[in-house]
Structure 1
Amino acid sequence: MAASSIGTPEQLRDPNYTPALHRAIPLGIQHVLAMFVSNVTPAIIVAGAAGFGFGSNSPDFPELLYLIQMSMLFAGVATLLQTLTIGPVGAALPIVQGTSFAFIPIMIPLVAGKGVDALAALFGGVLIGGMFHAALGLVIGRIRFALPPLVTGLVVTMIGLALVKVGIEYAAGGVPAKASGSESYGSMASWAPALIVVFVTLGLKFFARGMLSISAVLIGILVGYVYCILVGKLPFEAIVGSWENSAAFALPQPFKYGIEFSVAAIIGFCLMAFISAVETVGDVSGICKGGAGREATDAEITGATYADGLGSAVAGIFGGFPNTSFSQNVGLIAMTGVMSRHVVTIGAIFLIVCGLVPKVGGVIRTVPIEVLGGGVIVMFGMVVAAGVSMLSDVNWNRRNMVIFAVALSVGLGLQLEVMNTGPTTVSALQHLPDTLRVLGESGILPAAFIAIVLNLILPETLADESTEEVSGGLTGHGAGLKAKTEATAANV
């Protein structure tokens, strides 16, 4: 869709401009297609970690549908906060909000194997963390100095590294199949749908244009879905049963799972809010640069941060997960050249409608775990790539290399040690109080803490900085390529 057919160049750069509806509606749906899979995936992953039943006859199946429903509903609500605004809340920009990947490594240890009972503490953390996130809007401009690309890039990279294991497990047949020692786990029959999704996604990303390229992951999953139906891996009766067992309309229920304030959950969500806030600042800057050719104002950055946090807090009340701005939609604005916030408002309304219709979640839940695995392999790999892109902004002198090395070694080491020992055996942090152990075993929070503290207290140059050669023949001053300002953690 050519930008010139939608409006004049001046109109296209104006967030308050509204194209004609026959143009605006397809553009709004385009924004939804670009983020749809990424938005609902965290709910499925957290439900799987908690041990929810995934069959349509499982007693936990309605709970899984509800989490998917809330992911769509409150992504739409949070997006409306950004586009329509309420007082100082919202940037009045075309910012698309969605469920954040960044919090998944915090959420999984909180719910692992505990079923629905673990959700009260989880959503207590989401509520308090969202309120804390909103409060960061008061000081976001003054705390950015503590989160340079060295820190944010490290954290984003580690978030991706913590998640890539999930993609492989899903593609090989899913965690239940692995835990039961099923012979189907890792078989070619399991891998085939995932590989189809990956290859279709790559083909569309590299060789297609427009909507086909933008929706590559979604189309890849649809192709994998159809493949599973054709080979009998997904019986058509299962799809019909899921549709029939899902309500046509349902409103969200406040405190559906109760509310519990766990110290570990609250600390974890509040600390990750820093990263999410910086991510949103980058996205706001990217939207203003790419769509309007200007810098973001302080009011826009503050309003976006308020909306980020308030949207997450409200979602927590009703059983939704933390929201953040979605970077793929930043790129979409730069590509289409349409800066209209009202176009994104149309997309938000579409998400809200989907969130009020559980049948949509019922169909999403019939996606075979292997098909979803193919999609998340691409998505989580892109999270790692986004972190590496952010790290390319770092001046790689000896000081920064030492900070990165220590933080990465401790954080990634703790992650891997937990993966290898399992939750029922001894761990490196077993003598810590439960709260500190859970936070430490995430790996991400210790790495971020070490990187922030060392970056603040270490001198700008080390005593022997005059020698540029680093162990292994690496040089210590590779500045790297300029990363895109909108490269972020949470999204693809």
Structure 2
Amino acid sequence: MSDATIGTPEQLRDPNYTPPLHKAVPLGIQHVLAMFVSNVTPAIIICGAAGFGFGSNSPDFPQMIYMIQMSMFFAGVATLFQTIGLGPVGARLPIVQGTSFAFIPIMIPLVAGKGVDAIAVVMGGVIVGGLFHACLGLFIGKIRFALPPLVTGLVVTMIGLALVKVGIQYAAGGVPAIGTEQYGSLLNWTMALVVIFVTLGLKFFARGMLSVSAVLIGLLAGYVYAFTLGEVSLDNVARAATFALPNPFHFGVEFTAAAIIGFCLMAFVSAVETVGDVSGITKGGAGREATDKEIEGATYADGVGSAISGVFGALPNTSFSQNVGLIAMTGVMSRHVVTIGALFLIAAGVVPKVGAVVSSIPIEVLGGGVIVMFGMVVAAGISMLSDVRWNRRNMVIFAISLSVGLGLQQEPGALQHLEGTIKVLLTSGLLPAALIAIVLNLILPDELSDEATEEVSGGMAGHGHGELVKDDHV
């Protein structure tokens, strides 16, 4: 779509400009397509970790459909907070909100194998964490010093590393199939590989929306392939209701120290990610720096949107980086275009049949998409780390944080003598890694930065700066 057919260069850089409706609607749908898969995947992962939802005969299958619905509905609502605003809430910029991957490593230990009843604990954490996140808008600018690229890059990398195991398990047949004969079968892997190959082909060789929606199209290709093999059941689509509204406290709510502490700590990281997204939108779309008011409003919207999501059974929201890239690609800065996309999300969220279609995707097909998405999360973290000067001080901080965090993820049994809250928080691996990195970064003297690194790196340390580049397609 040519920029000239949409508006003048000055209009395209104006967030308040509304393109002609016949142009604005396709642009809004583009935003939905770019984020759709990433938005609903966390709900599927958490339901799977809790041990319910998969299989048409599962008595709790409707609960997963509901959470998928709410992921769409409240992503749309939170996006409206950003584009239209409500008092101090919202940046009034074309920011697309969606379900955050960052909180998944915190949520999995809270629900692992505990069934649908454990979701109440997650919702308590989402609500309190969201309110805390909103409060960060009061002083977000003052805490950024504690979260340099060394810390944020480590955390994003750890998020991806914590989740890649999920992708492999799904591609091999899903957690319920572990230990069975069909787990890891050639049939399962071919379904996942179709998704991976189609996605990579479009990423490397396509342009425009085909490239932006590569994961979605890859999943569609895998879905069609699985359907031809007889691996897709649409029985639940027929049984699903045509229309349903959000239900307050659908999963109940329970407030635990582990969930509250975990969600509040991750809110810091999510808030800094949002600051980066707001800056990326204003630079890429309007050629200017984001104002303090826009950054504060975006942070408020992140938190308020997440808190409301928790009330109705959805997971925490954050700004989506892939849509930042889409704005840079199209050159259209209009917040009203994104508002149209938000309305599509809300409409899809009140139609359970949409959630039923999503839930009919075979776990192996979803695994192919998840492998790509979570691998890209790791790549995004490494890209952020390229902005770090790798002297001895920073290498020690990174080494200790990564070793402890990743080690606890891989061997949670090392903490078997701990109980309750502290065990849940530490076995996530993510929080101890983040806390160690933050504390060491604040207390280790900067003088260490001037010392050589060869003696700890064998002469292989990098000495140059890289450019901070957030992956725009996670």
Tell me which amino acid in the other structure corresponds to 2:56.
Answer: S
Question: Match for 1:460 among 446, 450, 455?
Answer: 446
Deviations 1:391-440 (A, max 9, x none): 0000111100001011111101101112xxxxxxxx22223331011000
Question: Match for 1:342 among 329, 332, 336?
Answer: 336
Deviations 1:277-305 (A, max 9, x none): 00000000000000000000000000000
Question: Match for 2:431 among 442, 445, 459?
Answer: 445
Q: Is the 8 A contact 1:164 1:380 kept in 2?
A: yes
Counterpart of 2:466? 481
Tell me which amino acid in the other structure corresponds to 2:162.
Answer: A
Q: Is the 8 A contact 1:56 1:245 kept in 2?
A: no
Counterpart of 2:20? 20
Counterpart of 2:269? 275
Distance 1:146 1:287 in 2: 23
Counterpart of 2:180? 182
Deviation of 1:256 after TM superposition, in Å, equals 1.3
Normalising by structure 2, we get a TM-score of 0.98
Deviation of 1:479 after TM superposition, in Å, equals 2.9
> Equivalences for 1:33-432 in 2 at 5 Å?
33-178=33-178, 181-234=179-232, 238-239=233-234, 241-418=235-412, 427-432=413-418
Evaluate the alpha carbon distance shift between residue 461 and residue 71 of structure 1 in structure 2; reply closer, same or farther with a 3 A threshold.
same
Distance 2:452 2:388 in 1: 19
Q: Is the 8 A contact 2:322 2:471 kept in 1?
A: no
Corresponding position: 1:470 with 2:464: no
Distance 1:397 1:132 in 2: 35
**For structure 1, which runs of at least 5 residues remain unmatched after alignment?**
419-426
Tell me which amino acid in the other structure corresponds to 1:444.
Answer: L
Deviation of 1:468 after TM superposition, in Å, equals 3.9
The alignment partner of 1:98 has SS state of strand
Distance 1:190 1:477 in 2: 41
Distance 1:383 1:49 in 2: 20
Distance 1:480 1:34 in 2: 31
Distance 1:159 1:470 in 2: 30
Deviation of 1:477 after TM superposition, in Å, equals 5.4
Deviations 1:86-142 (A, max 9, x none): 011000000000000000000011001111110111100000000000000001000
Tell me which amino acid in the other structure corresponds to 1:28.
Answer: G
What percent of counterpart residues are identical?
74
Distance 1:466 1:435 in 2: 40
Deviations 1:206-226 (A, max 9, x none): 111111111110000000000
Distance 1:467 1:3 in 2: 51
Tell me which amino acid in the other structure corresponds to 1:310.
Answer: V
Q: Is the 8 A contact 1:390 1:487 kept in 2?
A: no
The alignment partner of 1:29 has SS state of helix
Q: Is the 8 A contact 2:151 2:437 kept in 1?
A: yes
Distance 1:118 1:25 in 2: 39
Q: Is the 8 A contact 2:167 2:370 kept in 1?
A: yes
Evaluate the alpha carbon distance shift between residue 472 and residue 259 of structure 1 in structure 2; reply closer, same or farther with a 3 A threshold.
closer
Q: Is the 8 A contact 1:264 1:435 kept in 2?
A: yes
Deviation of 1:441 after TM superposition, in Å, equals 0.4
The alignment partner of 1:324 has SS state of strand
Deviation of 1:476 after TM superposition, in Å, equals 4.6
Distance 2:50 2:302 in 1: 26
**For structure 2, which runs of at least 5 residues remain unmatched after alignment?**
none
Distance 1:430 1:208 in 2: 49
Q: Is the 8 A contact 1:470 1:476 kept in 2?
A: no
The alignment partner of 1:428 has SS state of helix
The alignment partner of 1:474 has SS state of coil
How many equivalent residue pairs? 474
The alignment partner of 1:72 has SS state of helix
Q: Is the 8 A contact 1:106 1:439 kept in 2?
A: yes
Deviation of 1:478 after TM superposition, in Å, equals 1.9
Q: Is the 8 A contact 2:39 2:99 kept in 1?
A: yes
CA RMSD of aligned residues (A): 1.2
Deviation of 1:37 after TM superposition, in Å, equals 0.2
The alignment partner of 1:59 has SS state of coil
Tell me which amino acid in the other structure corresponds to 1:473.
Answer: G
Distance 1:121 1:205 in 2: 38
Q: Is the 8 A contact 2:270 2:318 kept in 1?
A: yes
Deviation of 1:487 after TM superposition, in Å, equals 4.2
Evaluate the alpha carbon distance shift between residue 476 and residue 53 of structure 1 in structure 2; reply closer, same or farther with a 3 A threshold.
closer
The alignment partner of 2:153 has SS state of helix
Deviation of 1:472 after TM superposition, in Å, equals 4.3
Normalising by structure 1, we get a TM-score of 0.95
Distance 2:58 2:414 in 1: 36
Distance 2:223 2:199 in 1: 13
Distance 1:136 1:479 in 2: 33
The alignment partner of 2:156 has SS state of helix
Distance 1:468 1:98 in 2: 41
Q: Is the 8 A contact 1:313 1:322 kept in 2?
A: yes
Deviations 1:250-278 (A, max 9, x none): 01110112211010000000000000000
